[in-house]
Amino acid sequence: MTEKDLPAVVAIENISFSAPKSESVFREDEHKYLVAKEGDQIIGYIGTEKILDEIHVINMAVHPDFRRKGIGNMLLEKVLKKPDTVYLEVRETNIAAQKLYEKYGFKVVGSRKKYYQDNDENAYTMKRLPQ
């Protein structure tokens, strides 16, 4: 992701999440994000942090007009090419995301109570071991 991608990424964030991250968060973490494009249009993104020999997926979203077209798969596959253990949190009610992660070998390994600040929803912690 580059600075010129920020407005499109923030727009996708705002329409995808009930408690979106601010532009300043993306600006500070610009180096942690990969974007998916169709032509010149940003259609999705994924953010990761490397912590020792593990990767933590911090955020992922696809523009609603491009969902169910394999964009999330493509973004996740890019991250999973690295031989690391990968962790993420997902809302307990986000069944579509859970199914996507399970498809790639993620397993629920725990939960975080009241993880999401917008509605105190719990999150599942999911983990994928190196393949």
Instruction: Determine whether 92 is an active site residue.
Output: no
- Of 33, 45, 101, 124, the active-site residue reads 101
> Token pair for residue 20?
């979106």
Task: Identify the active-site residue in 89, 92, 115, 121.
Answer: 89
Q: How far apart are CA 107 and CA 103, in angstroms?
A: 10
- Per the annotation, the verdict on 104 as an active-site residue is no
The structure tokens 């070998």 sit at 105
Catalytically annotated residues:
89, 101
